[in-house]
Structure 1
Amino acid sequence: MALSLYDAIIPGNLQIIGAVSGLVDKAEAFGAETGRSEADMLQAKLAEDMLPFAYQVKSVAEHSLGAIEAVRTGNYSPDLAPPPASYADLRAKLDKAASALVALDPAEVDGFIGNDMQFSFRETVIPFTAENFLLSFSQPNFYFHATTAYDVLRAEGVALGKRDFLGQLRIKTAG
């Protein structure tokens, strides 16, 4: 069986979106246990010149569903809107992305192959094919932001392990 573009992207995105939603839950529980405010947790950073936890979570949605929406139009420009300002709003953003990805027709995603696509930001325009944009730009960004969200919480003292990052594995079931 050949691996399709859909198979290379969407199941992994769904797995990690679920895991990142779990990270939001863990951040909320940690804040409640330690007295850390929601705003403080959402603004936590690894380094002063990096963007905060809430931005990292927002970017997981942007580089999954946002990437698919961009391929449909042929252009991706970074969403410069502020990230959601509450745990509930972060979860809603992730839930919206997951629901839309679940509803995708695999044939539509596979049909993107060969389409022209570009990344544009200010004066920068980078041409791609749709599959190269998804696999060499959005997918690495997706995993970077998911990893950074995990790392921010670890640095803040939230008890996390590898299973918290991996989320629900797609294991073989009987049958």
Structure 2
Amino acid sequence: MSLSMYQASVPVFVRALNNLTHVLKKGEEYAKAKGVTPEVLLQTRLIPDMLPLLKQVQVVTDMAKNGTARLAGVTPMVFEDNETTLDELYARIERALDYIKGFEASQIDGSEARSVTIKIRGNETQFDGQTYLLYFILPNLFFHCTTTYNILREAGAELGKADFMGKP
């Protein structure tokens, strides 16, 4: 039995976004208990030249929604990147989840050879669907999920591997 493009993408994205929400909520609880304002938490970075927590979450949702849409051969829904609160970030994650759950397997399966062209730092980059998923979307999605986890962990939130991984 082979693994389909749908199976390798949408369920993985859904799980990652649900786990991201869990990690954020634990981080929020910790921040409240320690008197850290949400504004400070959202702007926390691991080091000065890395993106803050807020942007990490925005990138994760973009990877999931844009990846799903492009694999399906449609123009991705645009999110404005105007969130300023944790509640707005949770709503963004929910919008992304609703969007990607709206795609059928038939729209994505068979997209291995579909041409995907995106701009990376102003330059057009072309992929086939399989390369786009395996070597661009998934690594970026998990990098930014992991960085979100690490920001919250470094800030002191009591998180463990099980929080990041979630339940199978």
Same fold (TM over 0.5): yes
Larger mean CA deviation between 104-113 and 148-157 belongs to: 104-113
SS of 1:104's equivalent in the other structure is coil
TM alignment of 1:94-109, pairs within 5 A? 94-109=93-108
Structure 2: state its 5+ residue gaps. Answer: none
State the superposition RMSD in angstroms. Answer: 2.1
Q: Which residue of 2 aligns with 1:112?
A: 111
Give the Å deviation of 1:141.
0.3
* Match of residue 27 from structure 1: 27
TM-score normalised per structure 1 = 0.87
Comparing 130-139 with 114-123, which one deviates more in the overlay? 114-123
Q: Which residue number corresponds to residue 59 of structure 1?
A: 59
Q: Distance in 2 between matches of 1:122 and 1:12?
A: 26
Q: Distance between the aligned counterparts of 2:34 and 2:75, measured in 1?
A: 43
Distance in 1 (alpha carbons) for counterparts of 2:80 and 2:101 = 25
Indicate yes or no: 2:139 matched with 1:126: no
| Deviates further, 120-129 or 89-98 | 120-129
After TM superposition, give the deviation of residue 11 of structure 1 in Å: 1.4
Amino acid paired to 1:131:
Q
Distance 1:163 1:117, change over 3 A: same
- The 3 A distance-change label for structure 1 pair 80 and 108 is closer
Number of corresponding residues: 167
Secondary structure of the structure 2 residue equivalent to 1:127:
strand
Q: Give the aligned partner of residue 142 of structure 1.
A: 141
Structure 1 residue runs of 5 or longer lacking an equivalent are 170-175
Tell me if structure 2 keeps the 8 A contact 1:75–1:119. no
Judged with a 3 Å threshold, the aligned counterparts in structure 2 of structure 1 residues 156 and 104 are, in CA distance, closer, same or farther, namely same
Separation (CA, whole Å) in 2 of partners of 1:123 and 1:32: 39
**Partner letter of residue 119 of structure 2?**
S
SS across alignment from 1:44: coil
TM-score with structure 2 length normalisation? 0.90
Q: 1:149 to 1:137 in 2, by over 3 A?
A: same
Q: Secondary structure at the match of 1:84?
A: coil
Q: Which residue of 2 aligns with 1:13?
A: 13
CA–CA distance in 1 between the matches of 2:115 and 2:37? 45
Percent identity (aligned): 27
Q: Say if 2:10 and 2:68, in contact at 8 Å, map to a contact too.
A: no
Residues 42 and 54 in structure 2, CA contact (< 8 A), matched pair in contact too: yes
Instruction: Please give the alpha-carbon distance, in whole angstroms, between the structure 1 residues aligned to 2:118 and 2:26.
Output: 34
Decide whether the 8 Å contact of 2:5 with 2:108 is kept in 1.
yes
Alpha-carbon separation, structure 1, partners of 2:119 and 2:75: 7
Name the counterpart of 2:2: 2
Structure-2 residue corresponding to 1:172: none
